[in-house]
Amino acid sequence: MNTMVRTLFLLSLVLTYQGLLGQSKPDTTKQISVKDSMSTGELLDSIQNSRTGIELFYSNAHINKERILAFPHRIITIGYALNKLASEFNLSYEFTCPNCVSFSRQRQQKEKSDSIRGRVINDLREPVPGATIRDLSTQKSIITRNDGSFMIIRSEKKFSHLSISSVGYDPRTVKIGKQSEITITLYRSFNKLTEVSNIGYVQVPFRSRTADFSTIKGAAPPHTPNILNNLKGMASGLLITHSNGLPNATPAISIRNLISLGNTPGLSNLLRGDPLILLNDNPLVTGALPIGRNASILGDPTLAMEADGLSLLNNINPEDIAEYTILKDADAMAIYGARGANGVILITTKKPVKGKPQMRILFSRGGSGISQKPEMLNTPQYLSMRRAYIKNGGLPFNAKTAPEFYAWDTTRYINWSDEVLGHNSHSTNFHFSITGGSPRFSYGAGTGYFRQTSVLPASFPFSRFTQYLSGNFTPNKKWRISAYVNAALTRDELPLNNLMMATRLAPIAPFPFRNGELAYEENGLPFYNPYGVARNKVTVGSGSVLASAKVEKQLSPAWCFKLGLGANMVRLHELSELPRSANPFLTDSAYFERSVSSFNSTLLEPQLHYTQKDLFRKMEINYLVGATYLRKSVGWSQFKSAKTREDALMYAPATILNGDTADGRGNYSFFGLFSRTNLNLNDRYSVTLTGRLDQSSMLKGKPYTFLWAFGTAWNFAKQGSNPDTPRVIREGKLRVTMGTSANDGSQNYGYLATEFNRNLLKEADPNFTPGISGSNAKFPEKNFSIQCAVDLKVKEWLTISTAYFENRTYNVFTTAMPSATQDAQNLINHNAVVRNYGFEMDIQTMHEPSENKYWICRVLLTWARNRLLYFENLEGSNFKNYFKKGESITAIRGLVSEGLDSRSLYSFQNRNNDSIVSFPQDAIVIGDREPKLFGSFLNNIKLRNFYIDIMFEGRIQQQVSWLQTSYEKNLPGRYSIDALTNHPVMILEPWVQKFIPNTYPEVRESINNAKASDLFVEDASYINLGFVRLSYNLPSNLLKNLPLNGAKIFCEGQNLAVISKSKTKDPRVSSPNGVPAYTSVLIGFSLTL
């Protein structure tokens, strides 16, 4: 027995010594949570309470526990924390026992000639603060400063090998020879377990992530004045469509192409599915929520369903943006409840950077033009068309039937596409920013100015002045306060009329100027002078102030209380002037319209966060509970003056006294309670549960709406522990999410619920009482979503992320009553089900990454579809001619052409085999208004100090041909008094019906059927060279004697070339009458001081 006891005792001693010898140092890869700024004492406590058993030995004379430390990330490793302490207090540390770390004062540094100085930056040329640099020869480590700079003592060996690592980046090892200065580039890691992303109210490490979202750095997109135009092609699932190529137009935005039913029956009246857009958690005025009143070339903003007009997102300066985050699935959007049913775009501004004051100056100049101009008939082709029309109609050829032949020079040729769209646009952009501060208080400020003219016959300038201020204040280790204010003033001049119509002027029409004056006729025959019509203009001035603040109180190591406050105020002043000088042939035509609109929103969001690491040793829990109170209001007033004969009398007292007024106002309130729980087990399994209870003033029935979401993830492949035998699949994750979201209509209908509509006509009843229009919906439009996604990292150079998504919408909104005999004015629910589904893929490769070169490629693809699964009493409703069960709700239904018959008239298929061809009885699906496939191809290339960024974006889509407009007003061959009688060259193709007057019944029938057929639906697929940017960073040796920390020059081109089958219009613009997209080139520089 004693022998057995002795044997066991000796065996235990052996095992103990083996354990001591086998584990020479503690596990420093364990992670701990920190704050943006915290005291040294708090950090020491976090390390020793990390459940790794680490004991720290140090002298209080060497370490000041009250000193505030700043951290760039909320989750760090213990090794990073140890290096941070050593760098901050000029100490070194060593592992004296398996769980012991001893700090001591470093010896005096050698002379500067033995040191290596450098800077660590990322692939976007941004500094990487807090990166760990370890000399593998001496095992000494340092931390980079806020500007990414560092200095380390050179080892005595001929070559030094430095290991560089930072949270969110792939680690690197660099060989150093005799050089004393070096710049090191770290590349962003994809699907790394240490990556932390901000998805709304919480920061989520990749290891705990179940939701689907995309993140875009603010410096990555091209330089355009509109923050959303910058995102086109930058993220999978994000579709941005322009109805007008003018840069200040409102784009249509959808995430994963979520589409619901229409507001009124018709092909172009589907509800806008614009996502919720938040700037620092404050809602912005989006395209689906216009507050303007005056119509312009950009459309009529009072048509709330169309959502046209000036984009107020131009009030945000893209240079102030740090990051865009696009939330896509139910798990990511559920936290925003009924406000986020169509997806969410989070915009985060730049935060202050602690340290010495750092200034940045950016300046650029650019020019723009139109490359895709309409190709119209030239003079011989036009004259031939006119003669054929007159002959085919059996009409005499005289001054009455062909007045332009007698009054104008028939040998003249003016290319009106060049005359209207051939001017040069010029832009100027200036931005100055400064940031700095101490660990206790840091600040940031920026001022921007932008101005751009148009390509139209008048300059129509757009100018913007912006100012932002931000600050972080940490009075002690428990409190943290941050604040942000953005102010903007803009002025925009726009043509009131759509000058694209002037491209249809007859090529023999007179020159617009005669003897230095505008000409409106020649030999008694008037014409549409685009330079005169350009005098009808709209001037829009806007001012906005957006403020947000966040207060954080650390209640305990696990509990934290946060309070978010926000306010957004927008004022809009619009003036439309229509002088008689725009067209002297019109009498009593001079008048003006003035509108004043306002938008206000206030936000209050208290939150309580709970975080517990190493629960049951292997589990981590993050819990959030909070509330949202949002109130938005809009008010407007409008005045329309009486018409007068003289421009000088437009603002006369008598004209104003006889004018008409209108006004309106509306309010919207939203209250919600939410809770979110995330569980992570051993960095391999994650589960997220979200619940939300919302109340919206838009809904008249059910007072509260309950929403939920569930997400789970499985890390089925993790980076192997042996770097010498790595796996082919280095990392992999399977994610499944499902949940419900709701739409209360506020994103599409604004404040029509309480808007007063007053008749502008003087003959209106003076006792007229404004009626209520807008929402009579009793329930929210409910969505059920499900997604399955896989993320893979193959070896070190290939990452793949794929996702299948499906969404079903119930209780859909519509303003059309179920019965075809009833009219509709208000938003209602209808018993219908719409299915949206699709697939998206994100592929990224990195070729030959090194200090002097790399090539990163990304391919983003999205395939999206929709179907109408159910519609109660469809055949008895107003929608019966436009929707069919089982078909796409964005489908284009029309007749099928069989070419020209023996009479040279269009012939169509008789699908129901009756005696006549008619619409919709013989109509089938002939196309779809939404893209079948859209995506982009992005490239980021570095060659020493040169950087090249290239983005191609494209779509497989169909659009209504511009040729259709040739049959809406003036038939090919007919002449009108305004001379807008020219047509696209495509009119000459063999399949087009020749020039026959519609005075014959069979001709009218043929033309009417043609407008509802596949003849005017064309393949508008395209590949567009979205932007090319070439930049050069001046090397540090050139900046030695200059007070600069960095300097860069760049040249950028946008929309440089497009390949398309479209023969009549720019496929990048959806509207047949929209101005084509701008082609722009700009050059500039940025300096960092």
Confidence at 493, pLDDT banded by 50, 70, 90? very high
**203-214 average pLDDT score:** 69
Is the pLDDT reported for residue 389 higher than 80? yes
Token look-up 């393949």 returns 1019
Q: What is the pLDDT of residues 123-177, one digit of tens each?
A: 656 677 777 887 777 767 777 776 678 888 776 666 677 888 776 676 777 777 7
Give the distance between the most distant pair of CA atoms in the chain.
132
Q: Which residue has the higher pLDDT, 851 or 1029?
A: 1029
User: Both tokens of residue 580?
Assistant: 């008689």
Cβ(75)–Cβ(194) below 8 Å: yes
The Cα 525–Cα 366 span in angstroms is 41
Burial-class residue 1046 by CB neighbours within 10 Å (0-12, 13-18, 19+).
buried
Length of the chain: 1089
Among residues 178, 175, 120, which one has the least CA distance to residue 151?
120
Q: Which of 371-380, 462-471, 755-764, 1028-1037 has the lowest mean pLDDT?
A: 755-764
**Cβ contact 215:197 at 8 Å:** yes
Whole-angstrom distance, CA of residue 927 vs CA of residue 891: 6
The residue with greater pLDDT, 27 or 1026, is: 1026
List the beta bridge partners of residue 368: 425, 1080
Bridge partners (DSSP) of residue 1069 are 242
Residue 199: per-residue pLDDT: 58
In one-letter notation, the amino acid at residue 114 is D
- Supply the DSSP string of 894-922, one letter for each residue: EB-EEEE-TTS-EEE--TT-SSS--TTTT
As a whole number of angstroms, the distance between CA 972 and CA 602 comes to 55
Top-confidence residue, 352 or 759: 352
Estimate the crossing angle of helix 78-88 against helix 40-48, to 10 degrees: 150
Q: In the prediction, which pLDDT does 751 show?
A: 39
| Closest-CA residue to 742 (of 705, 700, 687, 773) | 705
Give the separation between CA 914 and CA 905, rounded to whole angstroms. Answer: 20
**729-743 and 705-717: which strand pairing?**
antiparallel
Q: Is 747 helix (H, G, I), strand (E, B) or coil?
A: helix
Phi, psi for 869 (deg, rounded to 5): -85, -35
Percent share of the chain, pLDDT over 90: 32
C-alpha 866/C-alpha 832 separation (Å) is: 14
Q: Across residues 518-533, what is the average pLDDT?
A: 93
Q: What is the pLDDT of residue 848?
A: 67
Q: Which residue in 356, 357, 329, 354 sits closest to 343, CA to CA? A: 329
Q: What is the pLDDT of residue 849?
A: 66
Neighbours of 440 (CB within 10 A): 14
Dist. CA 465–CA 489, nearest whole Å = 5
Token pair in block for residue 928: 């779809």
Range list of β-strands (E), 579-618? 591-615
Instruction: Identify whether the C-beta of residue 595 lies closer than 8 Å to the C-beta of residue 637.
Output: yes
Residue showing tokens 């803009």? 490
Q: How far is CA 520 from CA 420, 585, 736, in A?
A: 16, 8, 66
Cα–Cα dist 52/30, whole Å:
8
Distance in angstroms (rounded) separating the CA atoms of residues 91 and 40? 14
**Among the ranges given (177-186, 195-204, 847-856), the one the predictor scored with the smallest mean pLDDT:** 195-204
Q: What is the DSSP string of 351-401?
A: PP--EEEEEEEEEEEEEEEESS---B--HHHHHHHHHHHHHHTT---STTT
Cβ of 765: how many Cβ atoms within 10 Å? 8
Poorest-pLDDT segment among 54-58, 245-249, 422-426, 761-765: 761-765
Calculate the dihedral angle through the C-alpha atoms of 344, 346, 347, 353, rounding to the nearest 10 degrees.
180
CB-CB contact of 816 with 824 (8 Å): yes
State the Cα–Cα distance between residues 814 and 811, nearest whole angstrom.
Answer: 9
Average pLDDT over residues 928-941: 92
**What's the pLDDT score for residue 159?**
66
**Domains of the chain by start residue, with CATH:** 110-188 (2.60.40.1120)
- Confidence (pLDDT) at 716: 85
d(CA 1021, CA 961): 12
CA 819 to CA 800: how far, in whole Å? 49
Peptide bond before 920: cis, by omega within 30 degrees of 0? yes
Q: 21-25, 210-214, 540-544, 862-866 — which is least confidently predicted?
A: 21-25
> What is the distance between the alpha carbons of residues 632 and 604, in angstroms, rounded to a whole number?
12
Choose between 564 and 963: higher pLDDT. Answer: 564
The pTM for the full model equals 0.79
Question: Could you report the per-residue pLDDT of 317-345, keeping only the tens digit for each?
Answer: 999 988 888 888 888 888 887 777 788 89
Confidence grade of residue 34 (pLDDT, cut at 50, 70, 90)? confident
**C-alpha distance from residue 425 to each of 174, 246, 312, 413, 459 (Å):** 47, 11, 21, 25, 8
Question: Is 252:287 a contact under the CB 8 Å cutoff?
Answer: yes
Q: Which amino acid is at 504?
A: R
Task: Calculate ∠ Cα 170-352-945, nearest 5°.
Answer: 45
- Average pLDDT of the chain is 81
Q: Long-range CB contacts (< 8 A, 24+ apart) of 61-65?
A: 62/89, 62/91, 62/103, 62/104, 62/105, 63/89, 63/91, 63/103, 64/40, 64/89, 65/39, 65/40, 65/41
| Average pLDDT over every residue of 221-227 | 80
645-665 confidence digits (pLDDT tens): 888 888 988 888 888 898 888
Helix (H) or strand (E) holding 872: none
pLDDT for res 641? 92
Q: Is residue 315 scored above 60 in pLDDT?
A: yes
Res. 251: pLDDT tops 90: no
Indicate the pLDDT class of residue 851, thresholds 50, 70 and 90.
Answer: low
Q: pLDDT tens across 691-714, in order?
A: 999 888 776 656 788 889 999 999
Over residues 464-492, the mean pLDDT reads: 92
The pLDDT tens digits of the residues spanning 587-628 come to 778 999 999 999 899 999 999 999 887 777 678 888 999 999
